[in-house]
Amino acid sequence: MRGIVSALFAASFAFAASAAETPVELKRSPGLDRVEANCAACHSLDYIPMNSPFLNAAGWDAEVTKMINAFGAPIHQADAKIIADYLKSNY
């Protein structure tokens, strides 16, 4: 019985914590639609502003390439360029 109560408590805490989160608002700029359509299909868009202090233009190019080649993101080459350009211009 104590295990059930503990599980319910933990679940209610996790729900309350996630309910308080607000979705990330990325900068409005050309290419945002491609970022939202392709990147958010696999992970949170929070990673973009979170990693922006650490990545320069070459870093963003490498990230987009990594998502396609290492993680198998189904992103067309034309979209990859638009996504990388958006990230380099805004983050």
Class of domain 24-90 as given by CATH: mainly alpha
Residue pLDDT tens, the chain, 91 long: 555 545 555 555 555 455 567 888 999 999 999 999 999 999 999 999 999 999 999 999 999 999 999 999 999 999 999 999 999 999 9
Q: Which residues contact 71 (CB under 8 A, 6 or more apart)?
A: 42
Q: Which residues contact 44 (CB under 8 A, 6 or more apart)?
A: 24
d(CA 41, CA 29): 19
Furthest-apart CA atoms within the chain: distance in Å: 56
pLDDT at 56: 98
pLDDT at 23: 83
Q: Report the predicted TM-score, pTM, of the whole model to 2 decimal places.
A: 0.75
d(CA 25, CA 32): 11
